[in-house]
Amino acid sequence: MKRSYSLTLKRNVVSEVMKGHKCSIVARKYGINSQTIYRWIREYKEMKENYRKREVL
């Protein structure tokens, strides 16, 4: 069953991992699969890159 997570939770989780906390520990802390967190990080990086490209235009 697919779960829905709030944008605030996603931001907090991604932020913790980006600050250097181990993904496995953060995943356990929030009860989220680590692969889900890796996907959120990838999406965050892609979104950030797309935003930068838009600023150049």
Tell me what pLDDT residue 2 has: 81
Tell me what pLDDT residue 56 has: 65
Tell me what pLDDT residue 49 has: 85
Q: How far is CA 2 from CA 13, 49, 51, in A?
A: 18, 27, 28
> pLDDT tens, 8-52?
999 999 999 999 999 999 999 999 999 999 999 999 999 988 887
Domain ranges of the chain: 7-56
pLDDT of 4 above 80: yes
Tell me what pLDDT residue 51 has: 80
